[in-house]
Amino acid sequence: EWENFTDNQIEFYATFKAIARKALAKTGGHTYMEAFYAKVRGASEAERTRLLGLLEEGVATLTRRERSLFERGLRRVPTGTLADEFAKDVAAGTLPEVSYLVPSAIDSEHPSTSSPVHSATIVYKILDALGKHPDVWRHT
């Protein structure tokens, strides 16, 4: 999600850092995804749209391999939509072999911003998405 308080450790591997810098090249000096998405989260709707458009311009310059890694390791969804996006991938049969889900602070049981109820809700939604597709569940 846009807000994952630096919990996506993949972002810090050299290969992914290089891809992020290339994708972010047009966004105004951002060199890593967390800084970019912090700006997106705090922006007005118009500025958010502009920033995300600049990101897409940068993503368009990636090679096929880089684009694949970006989409599978660096792409984020708006805060609060992770479970819904996962459910869409389950329904479409487009889950990768391995999925890493990095929720927002509110969905992660971090004491300062969350609670067990919030994290239980996202777990329920993920399991529900899988449970609605027994063929996917059997291979999970």
Query: What is the model's pLDDT at position 5?
Result: 66
Q: Hey, how many other C-beta atoms are within 10 angstroms of the C-beta on 117?
A: 8
Task: Please tell me which of 99-108, 112-121, 126-135 the model is most confident about, judged by mean pLDDT.
Answer: 126-135
Work out the widest C-alpha separation in the chain, in whole angstroms. Answer: 45
Write the pLDDT tens digit of every residue in 44-63: 999 999 999 999 999 999 99
Query: What is the model's pLDDT at position 20?
Result: 96
Write the pLDDT tens digit of every residue in 8-46: 788 889 999 999 999 999 999 898 898 999 899 899 999
Give the phi and the psi of residue 112 in degrees, each rounded to 5. -75, -20
Query: What is the model's pLDDT at position 106?
Result: 79
**CA geometry: angle 90, 95, 98, nearest 5 deg:** 130
Confidence of residue 68 (pLDDT cuts 50, 70, 90): very high
Domain ranges of the chain: 9-73, 82-137
Question: How far apart are the C-alpha atoms of 138 and 132, rounded to whole Å?
Answer: 11
Query: What is the model's pLDDT at position 3?
Result: 67
Query: What is the model's pLDDT at position 138?
Result: 87
Question: How far apart are the C-alpha atoms of 33 and 20, rounded to whole Å?
Answer: 6
